[in-house]
Structure 1
């Protein structure tokens, strides 16, 4: 499913009916300041036109009249993702756990990771400090607002605020993380403990990612020690590349209460760029949905678990054996929702290509080689939609699989 959007001309035309040019310019500028600022300043009771999706792209939100204000009120059909026990993955039951991991990556593209070893205190502090960042005055948050996709720190709104013709109900803080010694001095200095807390969280999630990737490779039948020294295979010793200089970006998301949640989305359908994403869901407020067997299903949060999903790079590296899956975020009228995603991949200067060990007569090479610069050029030149970038990397002879 791909997101269709109203053109900017359509949006502006609809706004002209009730605003003159000067007022419209002020209103448009207000969108660029983010959803939280819009809500706090405007005390809006209806959704501004700029955020209203075409009818075909709006979510179908079901609620129950019996639910009270304190309930978890997103009543859409749920999906129970496969649960991977990290203790099992690193223990004597590893062979069985690897089979479960392979099944999850191949058939769902998502799984819940429990017993992952990152303490509840580290997780609690990360949620708390990101909540306090978003609760600061706009002037403090705006210090980090930029449209530069390569920036070490980027505060923004929507999905791509310079490209989206219809805005999403979302504010975000993006932090480049690896190497920490390089990026940490650029991170926000307020709240005062943000750098320390976020650095600890970044290090622990990266260590967890590396262990997961070892298991991913083994589940694909690839063992690093068996790889030869073929310099033509850029994926040779992938773990060494990840350990020495893999890329990591953390994204904290804020989805404020929305007056008309059935008309918009917090994030449109998309797949993640990278190998794996480790998502810390809001345990009290649902919102994440994945597309499974043609339906949009809500992922029920599990306490102290990570939602892990396959990224486009892993689909390319596995030559289509593991799939990146479309997912989106719902918003609601009652409660603010926060999440923290940690996206991991190869170093920015590396080329990603299908592993030579996974290419054969039965499974020919299905994807073009790609790199981060190709990705940036693609998303900078157009409005992101669904899995368009990944589809652009498919070899034309193998457009379906």
Structure 2
């Protein structure tokens, strides 16, 4: 996205109390969940038929040790990475090389931003999805028939010189600390994508005609940071922090605090992901499912509300430049494995999500050229 595309700068101030966010509601005294946030009985966590067997145990995601990708066990780790992306769509990444200080500063800034007075946060509230900075609430506050228990700050991050001047100047050192974190996670994403290419059997060679240049495109790709804030909810069984959804990009690197909330849909159950301190929860996005021609799966996930603690997370979403087209890699298409997804781009995605209420994996499903197999349904 070029600077000319980052929006008109109109603030589109909140029209009602709900658009001011759940933190604003909580701060003004709230003892029950307003009707606007109450899900239909069939969609409430733990009450519908799909959720009736919500497991009490946590989901033990595959753990990938990034440091071992750089050593003699690389081939074994690549196989573990392939298994995780194919079988789970998620993994936890440890020993990733981003220092505890950088992570701690990012967590600190996330909390401090949402501790700012409402009038300060309101400066960045807009419904313009192309804005370089967007503070808002719910999932899609203009489209959701039922709002979800989340406030967010979304920041476009790459190229940093284009977007950094638009970022909040307060709290003190916000731009410096968050920019450092953005640069570190972007580098980590590129290294992971190189490993994922290798795990898919896609080998780039300088002399190969018609080679797959996805890594070069990703170097100039889009990055969006989403800082999520979930305040305590007085009736968490009636609502969700985020509804079931998949992410639209290639990979999302999620930094959780130590408060549980993220759940992954795995083997027909919603299972809670146990936070590992300073690890990243990495998940396959819709674009990587398309690019891998369905081999690697983007998987539904959601966020639970809780009645006792604030929960904060930071998601770094990565993909191609906004003006590029995502398509299955030609190296993964042959007569036995035909092309399974239509080419798509960010404009197509934006047009889709701005005209309807987001539901589950609707956008990705709209790009499929073949019916979903039984195996895919079991993984979703």
The TM-score with structure 1 as length reference comes to 0.86
Match of 2:251 among 276, 280, 296: 276
> How is 1:2-21 mapped onto 2 (pairs within 5 angstroms)?
none
Match of 2:352 in 1: 378
> How is 1:1-400 mapped onto 2 (pairs within 5 angstroms)?
29-41=16-28, 43-60=29-46, 76-225=56-205, 228-230=208-210, 236-243=212-219, 245-283=220-258, 285-395=259-369, 397-400=370-373
Which portions of structure 1, spanning 4 or more consecutive aligned residues, are displaced by more than 2 angstroms? 74-77, 226-230, 397-401
- Residues 227 and 237 of structure 1 are in contact (CA less than 8 Å); yes or no, is this contact kept in structure 2? no
- Residues 55 and 270 of structure 2 are in contact (CA less than 8 Å); yes or no, is this contact kept in structure 1? no
**Within 2, Cα distance between the matches of 1:229 and 1:271?**
34
**Within 1, Cα distance between the matches of 2:308 and 2:45?**
17
- Residues 31 and 234 of structure 2 are in contact (CA less than 8 Å); yes or no, is this contact kept in structure 1? yes
**Within 2, Cα distance between the matches of 1:213 and 1:132?**
32
1:67-99 deviations in whole A, cap 9, x for unaligned?
A: xxxxxxx99331000000001111111000000
**Within 2, Cα distance between the matches of 1:340 and 1:377?**
25
1:345-369 deviations in whole A, cap 9, x for unaligned?
A: 0111110000011011221110000
**Within 2, Cα distance between the matches of 1:125 and 1:358?**
41
1:328-357 deviations in whole A, cap 9, x for unaligned?
A: 000100001000000000111110000011
RMSD over aligned Cα, in angstroms? 1.5
- Residues 250 and 318 of structure 2 are in contact (CA less than 8 Å); yes or no, is this contact kept in structure 1? yes
**Within 1, Cα distance between the matches of 2:355 and 2:297?**
25
Instruction: Compute the displacement of 1:250 (Å).
Output: 0.3
Query: Gapped runs of 5+ residues in structure 2?
Result: 1-13, 48-53
SS state of the match for residue 368, structure 1? coil
The TM-score with structure 2 as length reference comes to 0.91
Instruction: Compute the displacement of 1:229 (Å).
Output: 3.8
- Residues 110 and 308 of structure 1 are in contact (CA less than 8 Å); yes or no, is this contact kept in structure 2? yes
Aligned length: 355
- Residues 257 and 277 of structure 2 are in contact (CA less than 8 Å); yes or no, is this contact kept in structure 1? no
1:88-113 deviations in whole A, cap 9, x for unaligned?
A: 11111100000000000000000000
**Within 1, Cα distance between the matches of 2:184 and 2:56?**
33
SS state of the match for residue 398, structure 1? coil
Q: Which stretch shifts more, 118-127 or 27-36?
A: 27-36
- Residues 354 and 367 of structure 1 are in contact (CA less than 8 Å); yes or no, is this contact kept in structure 2? yes
**Within 1, Cα distance between the matches of 2:46 and 2:70?**
40
Instruction: Compute the displacement of 1:227 (Å).
Output: 7.3
1:258-313 deviations in whole A, cap 9, x for unaligned?
A: 00000000000000010000000112x10000000110000000111000000000
